[in-house]
Structure formats: structure tokens, C-alpha cells
Structure 1
Amino acid sequence: MQVQPEKFSWFQVPEDIKKLLILAAQTWENTSESENYMQQALAQAGEHTDVFIAAYRFFYYKNNYPLALQTTIQLLDKIRVAEKLPHDWEQLKPILVSRREEPKIRLYLNTYAASGLVLAKLGEIQQAKEISTKVKEIDDKNDFGAGILLDILTRPAEEDD
């Protein structure tokens, strides 16, 4: 199998991680093998948030929602530490509102909204609603999709006539 990481020069991660991500994509049809490559890439990711984004997408589209959720939580933790964000929502909310246009904060909000989607997929509807409500409070342009998810989760069931 030929790996050409130079084809993805825009992806700012070390070459060894890039090779693992490419191998995960190339072995997509063999779930255990491709997940193994993705897990190796995650183990080496360090502060490279792009690896966590790729892993989240990988696990989500593989319908491995527990690992997709785990990846979002890891990414949220990395951003929280790097940006010195508090855990408490009441303290965090004004920071997110005032900094919502900054790339790392947008990534945080996008990842938080994604965790709500994955929780909904896992049947954790109440948690998904709570997260979607929080993101929607900050997201006045609906950039992160939380409003759409919240609408879907709270829409009354249609009656059959």
C-alpha cells in the first residue's frame, strides 16, 4: 500500500501521523484495521487538533458513536486547557460569547455541538437537548447547527390521522 502524505500538505500534522490517517482512509472497508490506524494517530496527536477532528469524523461515519463521543470530549478538554476555559457553564458562557469569532473558540463550540449530536445518536436525548440549548444561546447565526438539532429533538411527534 503506497502512502503519499505530501499530497496533503495543507494538513498541518507530523508526517508519521499523516501516514496513519491516510492508512485509516485507505483501509476504510476493513473496520478493525482502519480503526487501529486511527487509534495510533490519536495516540500520537498531542496538541494537533486536526487529528481529533479527523478522528471524530472517521468514528462518526463508521457509526462508532462511543468513540466519536470520546474524541469530542478529548478535543474539548484540549481546547479548554489551551484556552484556560472554566468548566462551569455560567463562567464559560460569557467567555464563549465574547470570543465566539476566534478560531479556537469556534472549534470548541463546533465540537460541543457535535457532542450533542453524538449523544442524540446514542439515545441520550436529554443531554443532547441540554448541550444544544447551551450552544444555541451563544450561536445567534446558527453556525454550529445546535438550533437545528434542538428543533429536531424537541419537535412534537406528528399525529397519524
Structure 2
Amino acid sequence: MTAAVRSMEAPLADDALIASVLLGQGLPAAAEHHLRMASLSYHNADLAEQHLRDAEALAPGHAAVLIGLYRFYFYKGRLDEALDVARVCLAKAARENGLSSNWRDVARDDADFSGWDAVLPRFYLFTLKGYAYLNMRLGNEGEARLAVEKLLDLDPTNKLGGRVLLEVLERKGRDDDDD
């Protein structure tokens, strides 16, 4: 794995502002406890996953729980399951931003994607980036490319670093000496 790709790991849960402002709101204390226990139990995958599922039962669809599940599956190498969670997060982010449920139909002027302090649009972009990255890792290059191109359309100044994903896709199959 290249350094550029390693720097893109788990992009869905990449931002402290999102975690503090968006994710903690409305999370029941019991669900927060299960998320904490999942983190402390990470070495025991079955126990950690059970804590995540318990948190999900207490706070279904809550962004903090979804991101906990995403990160767990991602770092455990369960990328298909991480992609399933990324799809749920993308749908949630679209609803919360008042965007089309189909990411392909979202346009740059549908939300304030350029504002770094616009938390909900930023959550959408991070989610789209995670979706693209997972598709790339799973070999779904066509879907990954479309998602990255949409990310770059919504984030033309490349604040989220989507361009590196496009560069990786473009280099795929070429030897480094070919440059």
C-alpha cells in the first residue's frame, strides 16, 4: 500500500469537529457507554462488535454509532461490511443535508460544500470519500472513480484530499517507473 493510500485510511471518521458537534448530539448515555466499551474491547472482536450492536439498538441510525461500526469493520479488514455502513451513512448524510438520495444527482450548489465549518455538508463529503475509498479497495474501480469524480466536483479545492484517490486510480496498473 502506498503512503498516499495509507493516509486515506478510514476517511469517513476523519474529523474531530464532526465528532464533537454532529455525532454526540442526542446520543443516549447507555449507547455512549457501549461505544466506549467497544473501543476498550477492540482486541476481542466478538465482544467489541456486540457492544457496537447494543449501541445501535439503543441509538439506531445515530452518526456516532454508524461511524463506530464503520471504523470497526474497516480496521478489522471487513471492508464489505464497512461499505454497507458507508452506504447507510451516505443516505443519512443526504437526508440531513436535504440532498438527493442518489449521490450521483447531488450538485455543488445543493449545499455549502465549500464552507469548512459547515458540518453537515462536510459529513456528506467525508462519507462520499469513504464510500469511494472502500470501493477502490474492494476492486470496484468504476464505482470508485465515479464517486471520486463527484467528490472533486463538490469539493473542487480538494480540501478533503479526494484528488489523491483519483491519482491512485489513474496509477493503478502502471509501474512507478513508467512516470
Range class of TM-score, shorter chain: 0.7 to 0.9
Are residues 1:37 and 2:54 paired? no
How many pairs does the alignment contain?
A: 151
Are residues 1:76 and 2:93 paired? no
Structure 1: 5+ residue stretches without partners = 1-9
Aligned partners of 2:96 and 2:120 also within 8 Å: no
Are residues 1:140 and 2:149 paired? no
1:47, CA displacement in angstroms? 5.0
Are residues 1:158 and 2:158 paired? no
| CA shift digits 1:121-161 (9 cap, x unpaired) | 21211111111111012212322222111100111511769
SS at match of 2:107: helix
Higher relative CO (Cα under 8 Å, sequence separation at least 6) belongs to 2
Q: Name the CA distance, whole Å, in 2 between partners of 1:34 and 1:152.
A: 32
Q: 1:22 aligns with which of 36, 50, 61?
A: 36
Residue 128 (structure 1) aligns with: 144
Are residues 1:85 and 2:99 paired? yes
Residue 110 (structure 1) aligns with: 126
Give, as a single letter, the amino acid of the residue that structure 1 aligns with 2:120: K
| CA shift digits 1:20-78 (9 cap, x unpaired) | 11111121111122112112222333453222222222221111112211111111111
Identity across aligned pairs (percent)?
26
Residue 66 (structure 1) aligns with: 80
TM-score norm. by structure 1 comes to 0.81
Task: Report which stretch shifted further, 101-110 or 76-85.
Answer: 76-85
Q: Name the CA distance, whole Å, in 2 between partners of 1:67 and 1:128.
A: 16
Structure of higher CA gyration radius:
1
Q: Name the CA distance, whole Å, in 1 between partners of 2:99 and 2:161.
A: 22
Aligned partners of 1:45 and 1:52 also within 8 Å: no
Structure 2: 5+ residue stretches without partners = 1-19
Cα distance change, pair 54–136 in 1 and its aligned pair in 2 (3 A) = same
Aligned partners of 2:108 and 2:153 also within 8 Å: no
